[in-house]
Amino acid sequence: MNGVKEQRDTTPVLDIDGLDVRLPEDRAGRPILDGIGLRVRAGESVGLVGESGSGKSVACRSVLGLLPAGARTSGRVRVGGRDVLAMNRTELAALRARQVAMVYQDPRASVNPLRRVGDFLTEGLRASGTPAATATARALELLDAVGIRDPRGALRRRPHEFSGGMLQRVVIAAALAAEPALIVADEPTTALDVTTQAEIVALLGRLRAERGTGLLFVTHDLELAASVCDRVYVMYAGRIVETRGTDELFDRPRHPYTAGLLACTPSIAAGAPAPRPIPGRPVSLAESPPGCAFAARCAHAVPRCSEEKPVLTRHGDGLAACHRAAEGITL
Ligand SMILES: Nc1ncnc2c1ncn2[C@@H]1O[C@H](COP(=O)(O)OP(=O)(O)OP(=O)(O)O)[C@@H](O)[C@H]1O
Cα of 149 from ligand 1 centre, angstroms: 37
Could you tell me if the CB of 23 is within 6 A of ligand 1? yes
- Please determine, for residue 249, whether its predicted confidence score (pLDDT) is greater than 60: yes
Q: What is the pLDDT of residue 136?
A: 95
Residue closest via CA to ligand 1's atom 28 equals 53
**Is the model's pLDDT at 1 over the cut of 50?**
no
Write the DSSP assignment of 304-315 as a string of letters.
Answer: GGGTSPPPPEEE
The pair phi, psi for residue 186, each rounded to 5°, is -100, 105
What per-residue confidence (pLDDT) applies to 208? 87
What is the predicted pLDDT for the residue at 125? Answer: 84
pLDDT per residue over 91-113, tens digit each? 999 999 889 999 998 899 889 99
Residues 227-265, buried b or exposed e (16+ Cβ, 10 A)?
Answer: ebbbbbbbbbbbbbbbbbebebbeebbbbbbbbbbbbee
In one-letter notation, the amino acid at residue 80 is G
Looking at the predicted structure, is the pLDDT value of residue 269 above 90?
no
**Over 80: is that where the pLDDT of 267 sits?**
no
**Residue-level pLDDT at 2:** 42
Global confidence as pTM: 0.90
| Cα-to-centroid distance, 266 and ligand 1 (Å) | 26
Q: Whose CA is nearest to atom 4 of ligand 1?
A: 23
Model confidence pLDDT, tens digit, residues 305-330: 999 999 999 999 999 999 999 887 77
Q: For ligand 1, atom 6, which residue shows the shortest CA distance?
A: 23
pLDDT tens readout for residues 206-246: 888 888 899 999 999 998 899 899 999 999 999 999 999 99
Q: Ligand 1: does its nearest atom lie under 6 Å from the Cβ of 310?
A: no
User: Is 31 a pocket residue for ligand 1 (Cβ < 6 Å)?
Assistant: no
Ligand 1 atom nearest 24 alpha carbon = 4
Say if ligand 1 is within 6 A of residue 55 CB: yes
Q: 210 CA to middle of ligand 1, Å?
A: 33
Residue 297: C-alpha distances to residues 75, 241, 256, 257, 281 (Å): 29, 14, 9, 9, 8
Give residue 7's pLDDT: 42
Q: How far is the CA of 58 from the centre of ligand 1 (A)?
A: 6
Asked whether the beta carbons of 252 and 320 are under 8 A apart, the reply is no
* Per-chain mean pLDDT for the chain: 90
User: What average pLDDT score do residues 159-169 get?
Assistant: 92
pLDDT digits (tens, 9 = 90+) for 30-59: 999 999 999 999 999 999 999 989 999 999
- The mean pLDDT of 185-199, rounded to a whole number, is 85
Beta strands in the chain (DSSP E): 14-23, 30-40, 45-49, 72-79, 82-83, 100-103, 182-186, 214-219, 231-236, 239-245, 313-315, 318-320
Q: How far apart, in whole angstroms, are the C-alpha atoms of residue 240 and residue 249?
A: 14
CA distance 220 to 199: 18
Q: How many residues does the chain have?
A: 331
**Secondary structure class of 331 (helix, strand, coil):** coil
What ipTM was estimated for this complex? 0.94
Instruction: Evaluate: CB of 105 within 6 angstroms of ligand 1.
Output: no
State pLDDT tens for residues 137-154: 999 999 998 889 999 999
Ligand 1 pocket test: pick from 23, 60, 239 the residue with the most ligand atoms within 8 Å of its Cβ: 23
Q: For residue 109, which amino acid is it?
A: A
Is any atom of ligand 1 closer than 6 Å to the C-beta of 54?
Answer: yes
Q: Which residue has the higher pLDDT, 109 or 295?
A: 295
Cα distances from 107 to residues 95, 111, 135, 205, 227, in angstroms, run 21, 7, 22, 18, 21
Ligand 1 atom with least separation from CA of 220: 25
Average pLDDT over residues 148-169: 93
Q: How far is CA 4 from the centre of its chain?
A: 29
